[in-house]
Structure 1
Amino acid sequence: MALDLSKVGERDKLKATREPHWQRLRVGCFLGFRPSKVGGKGGNWIARAYDQDGGKYRLKALGDFGTLAGNEVFAAAKKAAEAFAELVETGGQVRAKIETVADACREYAKGRNEAGKRFERHVYDDPIAKVKLDKLRRRHVAEWRKRLEEKPALVSRRKKGKPITRDRAASSVNRDMAVLRAALSKVLTKGAPNSEAAWQEALKAVPNADGRRTLYLDRNQRRALLEKMDAEAAPFVRALCLLPLRPGALAALKAGDFDKRTAELTIGKDKTGKARRIQLPAEAAALLAAQAKNKLPAASLFMRANGTAWNKDSWKLPIAAAVKAAGLPSEATAYTLRHSTITDLVSAGLPLLTIAQISGTSAEMIERHYGHLASDAAVKALGELVL
C-alpha cells in the first residue's frame, strides 16, 4: 500500500531512519519525510526531482514547516516539492502553470508540430480541454474518445459544394489518442486499474487497426501506374516511387533543399518536425535536378502547372485515375507508394536504422511494421529502386 504523508497519523507512526520515507507526487517528483530522531510529532521534509539533462535525481531540504498546523504541513511541503521539481525539469526556468488538459497538451506540443496539429483538431475546442487535471476521470476521457470516433473524417477540403466525409478509421483514432495519452502521461500518474481515476484505460489503442496501409505495389505495378499517370503529376509520383518519403514532406520541398553538387536532399517539413539530410541515388538525383532547373531556391521543387505546390487534394485525383487505368487495387494511394518503397528496402536487407533515417520515422516503427520482412540478403543500395 502506497504511503500517504498527508495523514498526520501515518506520519506519526513512521520510524526515524536515515533514508526519508518517500511519496510519489507524479512522474519524476517525490516528497520525502524524515521523522525526528528525538521523538515527537515533528520531522523534516525533502524534495526529490529527476534532472533529465543530468540523468539523475536532485534533492532539496525543505525544512520542518514548524510554524504551520499539522494538517497544513503536507500541503505546504507538497507545493514546495512541486516548485522544486519544476525548476529542475526546466533548467531553472519557471514554466507556465499546467492546470487543465489543454495546458498539458500545449506544453507537450512544444517542438512537436504533428502533435500540436492533432490537439488543434480534436482537443482544444473539445469540452475535455477545460477539465482540471486533478479532476480528470476515466469518464471524461471515454466521452472524448466517443466524440472522436463519431467525428467524420474529411476526405475533400474543397471550398465549394458539400464536403465529402467518411467514417473515421480506427488507425486514425489510435494516432489521435496516442498524442493525448503521451501529453497526459507527462503530468499525471496512472490511476488505479478499473477505477474512475484510471484515465489511461479509456485511451487504450484499438488492436490490429493499422491494416489500411498494408497494400503493397511491386515494381511492375508501380511502373504501370507511372505509365498511366498524367504528365503534370508524373514527376511528383515518380519521386514517391523512388524515395520512401511522406507525400506531404515531398510536396513541401523547395528547390533550394536539393544540392545538385552533392546529390543531397534536406527534408525540412515532416511528421517529426525536425530537418534531416539524405544522400540520393543517381536516378532520384537526376529527377530532382530536372525539377529544380531554373527555379529560385524558395520555389516549390515539385510544382503544378498553375505554379502551386502539390497537396493531398490535388495529387489524389490523378493518382486515383492512374490506379484505375492501370487496373491496380482501388485502395492504392500516395501513401501506398511510401509503404511499397520501404517494403522493398527492408526486403533488400538495408539496415532498419538506415531506412528509419531516410524515411523520417523511428527504427522501432520500422521494426514493428516491417521487421518480419528483414532477411539475411546482402545490403542493397537505395539506388537499386530503379523504375
Structure 2
Amino acid sequence: MARAPKVTSDLSKRNYRLGLPLAKKPIWQALGDGISIGYRRCEGTGRWIARKANGKGGFNEGVVGLADDYEDADGSGVLSFAQASAKAFNWAKEDRTVARKAPLTLDEALNAYERDLKVRGGDYGNVSRVRSHLSEKLMKTSVTDLTVDMLKTWRDGLADKLAAATVNRTTTPIKAALNMAADADQGVTITSRAAWEIGLKTLGDAESSRNVILSDAVVGKLVKAAYSQSLAFGLLVEVLAVTGSRYSQVAALKVADLQNGTADPRLMIPVSNKGKGQKAARSTPVPIPAALAKRLKAAAEGIGPTGVLLQKPGGGAWAKSDHSRPFARAVKAAGLKPAEVEPYQIEEITAYALRHSSIVRMALKGVPLRLVAALHDTSVTMIERTYSRDIASVADAVARASMLDLGAIETTEAGNALLGAGEEVTALPRVEGQCRHGHSYAEFPPYRNSKGSVVCAECARIRTRTAKAAKKRGAA
C-alpha cells in the first residue's frame, strides 16, 4: 500500500507557501480516495501537483497549474488551493495520470540537443566540443539537481584556463540544451531555469576576438608557400584566400560548383551551418579570377560532377583540421618578417586569417557591407560587431566627406586667453600617404613622439592594446 502523503493544513495560505524554502519535492495534503494535492516552491511562481496512488505501492503525478503566489487566481492557468484541489479530482477521474520518469541528466539533455541540431542542419559539432570540458560526474547529474553554485564553479574553472570569450562560446550550447529540455518538460519536473541562467551567465568582461588582418603581399607569400608544398594544398589555400570562405565550406566544394563556362568564373560556395534556423539558399556564387578557375579545372580533370573539387595530395576530401599543420608549415616557409604582420605575431597566423583579411579588404575598398556579408555567408551585424575597429575608416571617410569644415577662424584676445598665458598650440603639418601597415594618414592623423618620429595613431593604439592584453595574460 502506498505511504500516506505528508499532511499540512496551511497550503491554502499564500503567505505560508511563500515562506517555505525552495525545494524539489512538493509538500502534500491528502484529499481522499488516494488523491493528494501538492505544492512545489520554486524560484518564481510555485506549482500545484496532483498525486494519485497507482495501486502498486507508488504514485502517479501531474502538474495541474500555477499557484496564486503572485497573481490572483483565474481558475485556468493560475489556481487557488481550492481550485487546484478540484482540478486534482478531475485529473484523477479522467485518468490523466503521468507516470514518474527517471530524471533527465545533463548528458541526455545534450544528446537530445545534438539530435535536434542534426535535424535542423545546425553545427552539432558544438556539442562535441562542449563534452570535452565536462566531467563525468557533471554529465550524470540530473537537470533538476543542477544548482547555481555547481554550474558557476564549473564555468569559473574554465575561465582560469580559457579566454572569457571562449568560455562564453562553450557555455552557450549547454544553456541551449537545458532550455530545450525545460521546454519539452513543460514544468512537470524542471520547474526553474535559474541554475543555468545564473550559474552560466555570460561573462561581461569577455575581450573582443583578435582578428589577424594580413596585407595582400603577405597573403600572396602564404599562397606561394602553400603551392611549394603541393599543388593540392596550394589550390586549397588560394581558394580560401580569394573567396574568404570557411575551411569547412571550401572542403565541401564539388566539381559542379566550379562555373567556368563564361568570362566571369565563379564558385558556388555551399552555405555553412553557422547561425540560427534554416537558410533559404544552398550555396552562394562567389567570383574568382580566371587564372584560379583554370587551375581548378585542370585539377578536376577526370573527376565527375559530384566528386570533391579540392582533394588532398593523396586523393580524398580534406577532413576537419587536415589543413592545420600544412598551413603552419606554410607560414614558416613564407619567411615572413615581424614588421610585415605588425601588430600581430607570426605565431598568431592561421588559415582563418585569410577570411578575416578578405572581409576587411572588401569593406575598405568600398564594397557595401550587405554584399560583403552575402559573399562571406555571414551578416552585416556580425561584420560590424567583429570588424568594427578594422573598418572604422570606411565610416570615417563617408562622414568626413559631408562634414562642416569652417577652416581657420580668427579668435579675439579674450578667446586666446582661454588657451592659457604663454601656451603655444602646435600641430604636425598634414602628412600624405599611409603607414607601412596601410593606415591612411588622412584618416588616422599621425603625431610626433618623444623621439621625434612620426607615428601612425592607429598603429600606436593597436600596440597599446596588444601590450595590455599580454600584461593581462601574464598576470593570469
Given the alignment of the two structures, is residue 310 of structure 1 paired with residue 318 of structure 2, yes or no?
yes
AA aligned to 1:324 is K
The structure 1 residue matched to 2:306, chosen from 273, 290, 298, is: 298
Pairs within 5 Å for 1:71-82: none
Corresponding residue of 1:207: 205
Distance 1:67 1:303, change over 3 A: closer
Q: Deviations over 1:215-261 (max 9, x none)?
A: 11111111122222223311111111111211122123222333445
Given the alignment of the two structures, is residue 140 of structure 1 paired with residue 150 of structure 2, yes or no?
yes
AA aligned to 1:361 is T
AA aligned to 2:203 is A
Q: Deviations over 1:61-99 (max 9, x none)?
A: xx8651648xxx9x99xxx9xx9xxxxxxxxxxxx9983
1:294 to partner: Cα distance: 3.0
Could you tell me which runs of 5 or more consecutive residues in structure 2 were left unpaired when the two chains were aligned. Answer: 1-9, 18-43, 48-63, 183-189, 337-345, 399-476
Corresponding residue of 1:157: none
TM-score, normalized by length of structure 1?
A: 0.62
Secondary structure of 1:361's counterpart equals coil
Corresponding residue of 2:459: none
Corresponding residue of 1:46: 77
Given the alignment of the two structures, is residue 131 of structure 1 paired with residue 141 of structure 2, yes or no?
yes
Q: Distance in 2 between matches of 1:135 and 1:235?
A: 52
The structure 2 residue matched to 1:280, chosen from 274, 281, 286, is: 286
Distance 1:270 1:302, change over 3 A: farther
Q: Distance in 2 between matches of 1:308 and 1:293?
A: 15
In 2, are the aligned partners of 1:141 and 1:202 still within 8 Å (CA)?
yes
**What is the aligned residue count?**
299
Corresponding residue of 2:328: 320
Could you tell me which runs of 5 or more consecutive residues in structure 1 were left unpaired when the two chains were aligned. Answer: 1-5, 14-21, 35-40, 48-62, 84-95, 151-166, 192-196, 379-387
Given the alignment of the two structures, is residue 101 of structure 1 paired with residue 106 of structure 2, yes or no?
yes
1:323 to partner: Cα distance: 1.8
AA aligned to 1:140 is M
Distance 1:65 1:302, change over 3 A: same
Q: Distance in 2 between matches of 1:200 and 1:321?
A: 44
In 1, are the aligned partners of 2:222 and 2:330 still within 8 Å (CA)?
yes
Which has the bigger relative contact order, CA under 8 A and spacing at least 6? 1
1:267 to partner: Cα distance: 0.7
AA aligned to 2:143 is L
Given the alignment of the two structures, is residue 176 of structure 1 paired with residue 170 of structure 2, yes or no?
yes
Q: Distance in 2 between matches of 1:9 and 1:108?
A: 40
Given the alignment of the two structures, is residue 116 of structure 1 paired with residue 133 of structure 2, yes or no?
no
Q: Deviations over 1:170-193 (max 9, x none)?
A: 5433321122123334437553xx
Distance 1:24 1:221, change over 3 A: farther
Given the alignment of the two structures, is residue 242 of structure 1 paired with residue 242 of structure 2, yes or no?
yes
Largest Rg, 1 or 2: 2
Q: Distance in 2 between matches of 1:168 and 1:245?
A: 26
AA aligned to 2:13 is G
Pairs within 5 Å for 1:1-387: 7-10=11-14, 23=45, 44-46=75-77, 66=86, 68=88, 99-109=104-114, 110-111=116-117, 116-123=124-131, 126-145=136-155, 170-186=164-180, 187=182, 190-191=193-194, 197=195, 200-205=198-203, 207-211=205-209, 213-229=210-226, 230=228, 231-232=230-231, 233-261=233-261, 263-267=266-270, 270-272=273-275, 276-283=282-289, 286=293, 288-311=296-319, 313-328=321-336, 329-372=346-389, 373=391, 375-376=394-395
In 2, are the aligned partners of 1:139 and 1:199 still within 8 Å (CA)?
no
In 2, are the aligned partners of 1:181 and 1:200 still within 8 Å (CA)?
no
CA RMSD of aligned residues (A): 4.3
In 1, are the aligned partners of 2:163 and 2:206 still within 8 Å (CA)?
no
1:136 to partner: Cα distance: 1.5
Secondary structure of 1:300's counterpart equals coil
TM-score, normalized by length of structure 2?
A: 0.52
In 1, are the aligned partners of 2:253 and 2:308 still within 8 Å (CA)?
yes
In 2, are the aligned partners of 1:217 and 1:337 still within 8 Å (CA)?
yes
In 2, are the aligned partners of 1:258 and 1:264 still within 8 Å (CA)?
yes
Distance 1:265 1:171, change over 3 A: same
Distance 1:299 1:138, change over 3 A: same
Q: Distance in 1 between matches of 2:315 and 2:370?
A: 37
